[in-house]
Structure 1
Amino acid sequence: MSARQAESRITVAHPRETSTLSGHREAEAALLNAYRSERFPHAWLIGGARGIGKATLAYRMARFVLTHRNPLAARVQGASTLWVEPSDAVARQVAAGSHGSLLTLERSLNDRGVLRTVITVDETRETISFFGSTAAVDGWRVCIVDTVEELNSNAANALLKVLEEPPRQSLFLLISNAPARVLPTILSRCRKLMLRPLAIPDVIAAAATSAGISTEDPALGEAAEASEGSVSRALTLLGGDAIKLHQQTAALLSTLPRVDPRELHALGDAISGSDRVALTAFIDSIDRWISQRLRADGANANANLPRLARLAEVWEKITSAARDTESYNLERKPLVFSVFGLLAEAMQ
């Protein structure tokens, strides 16, 4: 199957179902070494760009801890990776989302069947009963938050209360695409594990596995080159149309704070319709541009700090608007005009 043929047929496994890890060997070793030491942090913040394998690593760690509950056991002390055989009973339960000692906090569907834009406080309070009750199996209990910046303010405070007084043999794995947006009080209670973008060969290998295509496919190589180390971005860009849309968006971003209304109309037409790939490629391009701008300007001693603050605030608004557009299937052209209007104003 070619990449172009696979584009509309890609089915990506959930990280809890993914047994392989591409790259991040140093981060995996850090988790393993900490687990078998006498000072294992109860909370970790696994941060980095979207789609580089943070959740995959978190579930890999959860499987290992729930399979090998004694960190001093010979098998743990002699392990070189966090690998657990997919056929293992714990691995099957984690993949099915049915393990009694693993709780995952992530955005869920509301009563109307629409994906919520945040993780709610009621869902987060499940951690209290989860850690306060008798586990299905004695030993470790693991909570994965995917992602921590999607907690609303009340939910973040509820999680903080549990982090402040962690139960015995509890492990929190907090995933973050934007650690700078996480509450400082939560950050201070976590050991930070920052993941770097993947090398292009790792992106190609992981994306080929997810898409069921050959690693030699030219379109896959092109998508991996443009992915900046993100497997999910490579999968989004897989196929010529998505890459062209990414290039079209990047060209408009390069003209800010000036924008050509005709080009905005053309971009709005390009992402209109029911194709989620087009909307995802557009939002991903915007997200990447803002992130790069904040990092570059933030490292500059002569940076325009008020403009940086405006851009960070606009990022929040754009993220919320994009979620609403996707969740409620809203018209997309108004989103394009709104996004570029906000960015143009912030860049003045």
Structure 2
Amino acid sequence: MSETRAPRQTVVLFGHDEAETALLAAYRSGRIPHAWLIGGPKGIGKATLAYRMARFVLAHPDPATPAVQGAASLAVDESDAAARRIATGSHGGLLVLERSANDKGVLRTVITVDETRETIAFFGSTAGTEGWRVCIVDTVDELNANAANALLKILEEPPERSLFLLVSHSPARVLPTIQSRCRRLPLRPLSVADVRRAVAASAGLDLDDPELAAAAEVAEGSAGRALMLIGGEALGLTQRTRAALEVLPRLDYRALHVLGDALGGTDRAALAAFMDAIERWVSERLQVSDPNEQLPRLARLSEVWEKISRAARDAESYNLERKPLVFSAFSMLSEAMR
């Protein structure tokens, strides 16, 4: 498998024609809302759509031109000057807020207020030859409280020719004050066929690759999840985690030992697959038909998930052994399900 393309480098998009049409129509009208909240599950193409929109606006700064009025999509050729500069992260008209590494080289768990304040200087400067300033927040879910408030201040008084594209895995949890200043653009999970097409395009795989087909079938509409499952032991690890979860509240200690060994010492892809399987399982339990009948259990399960998430972040940040995490996570989940 060749190196996977990042969203800033990806010029194709699958399965979101309706959302793309909405963005294009708004821009073509000359009265585009200054902020969009692009929401949906992880790995379905939200950031790819955000970069696709940024690329189109910065390549075509005048919405009245024939190139925009006659466009059938937001496609911009990757040889275009704006597309090349966005792909390399060097476009002066685009600011991206995302988690960065600390002074030890470890990826932070949140987007900090200092990083968010960069938007003030960015939007306060005179627009360059492109005429637009575009800010992508990937993701708004990772803003800490102070950072969210700093962003809100700019959204409340947006500069002329500014465009904010906020990516969110959980848009309902975004601050209501931020939501109220955005046009919401929900994206749905991809079809299995679109997952296969997206992964094949991103990773340079053949559409008929059997491993790709297997990953797409269990990815639940997420190209990102399918990519994670391809190669190595991620697919098998996901299946083992799911099997151990299905017997809860009973604990299969032999299976947990095998799972802990498979998770390895510091493999980030393995940890991501393990956590992804638990997150999906917890989400399924929280989406019950009559939550009033199980509120205490649901509350415990939600609290346990937060504890497991923190423990996993610590394990990744400090390169801790993963086997204790497996036993701790399943012990807490077992207790919550009783």
Whole-Å separation in 2 of the counterparts to 1:235 and 1:256: 28
Deviations 1:142-197 (A, max 9, x none): 11011111111111111111111111111111111122332222122211111111
**Which of 158, 161, 167 does residue 159 from structure 2 map onto?**
167
1:330 aligned counterpart, secondary structure: coil
What's 1:182 paired with?
174
Do residues 272 (structure 1) and 272 (structure 2) align?
Answer: no
Distance 1:123 1:177 in 2: 20
**Which ranges of structure 1 fall in alignment gaps of 5 or more residues?**
1-5
CA contact (8 A) 2:10 2:48 kept: yes
- Counterpart position of 2:214: 222
> What residue is the counterpart of 1:329 in the other structure?
319
The answer as to whether partners of 1:144 and 1:175 remain within 8 angstroms in 2 is yes
Alignment-derived partner of residue 62 in structure 2: 70
Q: Report how far residue 240 of structure 1 moved.
A: 7.4
One-letter identity of the residue aligned with 2:336: A
Residue equivalent to 2:185: 193
Question: 1:303 Cα deviation (Å)?
Answer: 4.9
Moved more, 317-326 or 58-67: 317-326
Note closer, same or farther for the CA distance 1:331–1:32 as it changes in structure 2 (3 Å cut): same
Deviations 1:197-237 (A, max 9, x none): 11111111221223322111212111110111111111121
C-alpha distance in structure 1 between counterparts of 2:301 and 2:96, whole Å: 31
Query: Which runs of structure 2 are paired with 1:1-348 in the superposition (5 Å)?
Result: 6=1, 10-137=2-129, 139-239=131-231, 241-294=233-286, 296-297=287-288, 300=290, 302-348=292-338
Can you give the 5+ residue segments of structure 2 that lack an aligned partner in the other structure?
none
CA distance in 2, matches of 1:326, 1:310: 24
The AA in structure 2 aligned to 1:278 is A
Aligned length: 338
User: Could you tell me the percent identity over the aligned residues?
Assistant: 67
Q: Give, in whole Å, the separation in 2 of the partners of 1:188 and 1:307.
A: 32
C-alpha displacement of 1:244: 1.9
The residue that corresponds to 1:3 in the other structure is: none
Contact 1:66–1:90 (CA under 8 A) maintained in structure 2: yes
The letter of the residue matching 2:189 is: P
Residues of 2 paired with 1:314 and 1:36: CA distance? 47
RMSD: 1.9
Opposite residue 250 of structure 2, the aligned amino acid is R
**In 2, distance between residues paired with 1:313 and 1:74?**
54
Q: Conserved in 2, the CA contact under 8 Å of 1:117 and 1:320?
A: no
CA distance in 1, matches of 2:268, 2:93: 34
Question: TM-score scaled by structure 2?
Answer: 0.94
Instruction: Give 1:116's aligned amino acid.
Output: R
Q: Displacement, 1:239? A: 4.1
